[in-house]
Chain A
Amino acid sequence: MNLFKMHFFRMAQNLVMLVVLAVTVAVSASAREITLQDDRVLIAFDSKSGAITRLTDKASHWKIERRPELGVSFRLFAPLPGRRWNPVLGQKQVVAEIEKISRHEIELEWKNPVSENGGVLPMILTAHVTLTNGVLTFNLNVQNDSDLTVESIDYPYFGDFNAPSHDSTNLVAWTMKQGNVDDLGAEEIYPHFRNEKGYWGVFWPTKILEAEHSPCCLIQSPDSGIYIGAGATPEPYRLQYVFEQHPGLLSVVTGLVPPEDEIGGQTVHLEFRLCHLVFQQPHTIVKLTPVVLSCYRGDRHAGSALYKQWHSTSQ
Chain B
Amino acid sequence: MALNVAIAAFRKMNFSNRHLSFPALMLAGFVCTSSILLPPTVLADEVMLQDDKLLAAFDSDSGALLRLENVAGGNAHWVADGHPELAVPFRFNLFSPGNKHDYVYRDKQHAAAVQKISDQEIHLQWKDLVDEQGRSLPMTLTADVTLTNGTLTFNPTVQNDSSQMIESVDYPYMGGFNEKPEGTSMTMKHLWYGGMPSEDISGKPPGVQSKQSLFCLMQSTNTGLYVEMHDPTQPYLLNFIFERHSLTKSSNGPMRTEFHTSHVAYVHTNSTVTLAPVVMQFYRGDWHAGVDLYKAWRATWYKQPHLPAWIQDVNSWQQLQIDSPEQDFRVPYTNLISYAQQCADNGVAAIQLVGWNNWGQDGGDPAQDIEPGLGTWQELHDFVAQSQAKGVNIILFAKLNWADLTMPRYTNEFYKYECIDPAGKRYEQGGYQYFTPTQLSNIGVHRRAVMDFSDPEYRDVATKEFEKILALGSAGWLWDEVCHHASVLYNYAPGHGYNPPGYIYGGDMPLGAQLRAAADKVSPDFLFSGEGPEDWLTQYFPLSYFRINIDSVPVCRYIDSQEPLMVAVVGYDDREMLNLILMDRYIIEYEPQNFKGYLEEYPLTLAYGKKIDALRRKYKEYLWDATFRDTLGANVTSDGNSHYSVFVTASGKRAVVVVNMEYSKAITARVELPNPGKLLMASPEHPDTEPTDGTLNIPARSAIVVMEQ
Contacts and interface: CB of A to CB of B under 8 A. Distances in A.
- Which of B361, B437, B593, B605: most chain A Cβ within 10 A? B437
Given A77-B438, A248-B571, A248-B594, A201 B577 contact: no
Contact of B594 (A151, A203, A264): A203
Given A85-B436, A201-B433, A203-B596, A264 B575 contact: no
Given A248-B593, A251-B577, A263-B604, A201 B571 contact: no
B356 to A, nearest CB: 14
A77 B440 CA distance: 13
A254 B701 CA distance: 11
Interface stretch (A36-44, A140-148, A192-200): A192-200
Given A199-B594, A247-B572, A253-B549, A151 B438 contact: yes
A238 B438 CA distance: 10
B550 A151 contact: no
Interface in B568-608: 570-577, 580, 592-596, 601-605
B321 interface: yes
B321 A200 contact: yes
A8 B574 CA distance: 51
Contacts of A253: 549-550, 571, 574, 576-577, 580, 661
A247 B601 contact: yes
A85 B326 contact: yes
Contacts of A250: 571-574
A198 B433 contact: yes
B452 to A, nearest CB: 26
B332 to A, nearest CB: 13
Contact of A248 (B570, B576, B603): B570
A204 B604 contact: no
Nearest to A273: B437
Interface in B418-439: 432-439
B572 A201 contact: no
Given A201-B435, A203-B594, A253-B580, A264 B329 contact: no
A77 B436 contact: yes
Contact of B432 (A87, A201, A252): A201
B329 A85 contact: yes
A124 interface: no
Nearest to A208: B440
Contacts of A198: 432-433
A85 B603 CA distance: 30
Contacts of B594: 199-200, 202-205, 248
Interface in B458-516: none
Nearest to B570: A252
Interface in A95-121: none
A61 interface: no
Contacts of B570: 199, 248-249, 252
Contacts of A248: 570-572, 592-594, 602
Nearest to B325: A84
Interface residues of A, number: 39
A85 B435 contact: yes
Interface string A200-233: 1111111010000000000000000000000000
B354 to A, nearest CB: 8
A64 interface: no
A242 B439 CA distance: 14
A5 interface: no
Nearest to B444: A84
A234 interface: no
A52 interface: no
Contacts of A184: none
Contacts of A152: 436-438
B437 to A, nearest CB: 4
Contacts of B327: 83-85
A240 interface: yes
Contacts of A252: 549, 570-571, 574, 577
B437 A254 contact: no
A154 interface: yes
B441 to A, nearest CB: 6
A205 B605 CA distance: 17
Contacts of A275: 437
A200 B602 contact: no
A302 B455 CA distance: 62
Contacts of B580: 253
Interface string A247-282: 111111110101000011110000000010100000
A201 B363 CA distance: 12
Contacts of B206: none
B324 interface: yes
B437 A265 contact: no
B329, B438, B439, B603 pick with most chain A CB within 10 angstroms: B438
Interface string B326-370: 111100000000000000000000000010000001100000000
Contacts of B603: 264-265
B373 A83 contact: yes
A264 B604 contact: yes
Contact of A200 (B373, B432, B661): B432
Interface in B56-82: none
B297 interface: no
B642 to A, nearest CB: 14
A277 B441 CA distance: 9
Contacts of A85: 326-329, 435-436
B663 interface: yes
Contacts of A208: 440-441
B437 A251 contact: no
A197 B575 CA distance: 23
Nearest to B550: A253
A203 B435 contact: yes
A151 B605 CA distance: 37
A258 B573 contact: yes
A87 B328 CA distance: 10
Contacts of A204: 593-594
Nearest to B438: A151
B440 A202 contact: yes
22 contacts: A83-B373, A85-B328, A85-B329, A87-B436, A151-B437, A152-B438, A198-B433, A200-B321, A200-B361, A202-B435, A206-B440, A248-B572, A248-B593, A249-B572, A250-B572, A251-B571, A252-B571, A252-B574, A253-B550, A253-B580, A264-B572, A266-B601
Interface of A: 77, 79, 83-85, 87, 151-152, 154, 197-206, 208, 238, 240, 242, 247-254, 256, 258, 263-266, 275, 277
Q: Which 10 pairs of residues, A with B, have the shortest CB-CB distance?
A: A253-B576, A251-B571, A152-B437, A201-B434, A85-B328, A251-B576, A251-B574, A264-B603, A199-B594, A83-B327
Given A85-B329, A248-B571, A263-B573, 18 more contacts: A84-B436, A85-B326, A85-B435, A85-B436, A87-B436, A197-B440, A200-B362, A200-B594, A201-B432, A202-B435, A247-B572, A247-B593, A248-B570, A249-B572, A253-B580, A254-B663, A263-B572, A264-B603
